């Protein structure tokens, strides 16, 4: 499996969140945060847009880090949504934005 293919099948290499992170591009972070906020009906700030990729060691978006059930399952962790979302319940619906990310 290619390292930049997320456990869910997304192509992290083409994800604008990752591109913004790799190039430390704040304008792109703002664009992605605005788009994902609109798509999910929750506030996602540019500061949340930091991710090097699902299966790459390093920073992740809060959703991909601890809320995505596919990633948690793949990592062999029991997924506890209530605990995972504690303090950040606004992103429970974030997966809707995944449709904007590139797939293979």
Report yes or no: 4 and 56 within 8 Å, Cβ to Cβ. yes
Of 20, 51, 67, 84, the one binding ligand SF4 by CB under 6 A = 51
Q: Is 62 in the site for ligand SF4 (CB under 6 A)?
A: no
Q: How far is CA 23 from the centre of its chain?
A: 17
Instruction: Rule CB under 6 A: choose which of 20, 33, 44, 54 binds ligand SF4.
Output: 54
CB atoms within 10 A of CB 67: 19
* Contact footprint for ligand SF4 (CB under 6 A): 6, 10, 12, 15, 17-18, 51, 53-54, 60-61, 64, 101
């Amino acid at each position: 499996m290619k390292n930049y293919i997320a456990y869910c099948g997304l192509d992290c290499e083409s994800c604008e969140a990752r591109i913004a992170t790799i190039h430390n591009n704040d304008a792109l972070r703002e664009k992605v945060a605005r788009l994902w906020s609109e798509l999910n009906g929750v506030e996602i700030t540019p500061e949340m847009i930091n991710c090097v990729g699902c299966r790459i060691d390093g920073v992740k978006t809060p959703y991909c880090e601890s809320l995505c059930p596919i990633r948690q399952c793949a990592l062999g962790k029991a997924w506890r949504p209530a605990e995972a979302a504690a303090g950040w319940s606004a992103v429970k619906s974030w997966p809707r934005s995944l449709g904007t990310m590139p797939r293979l």
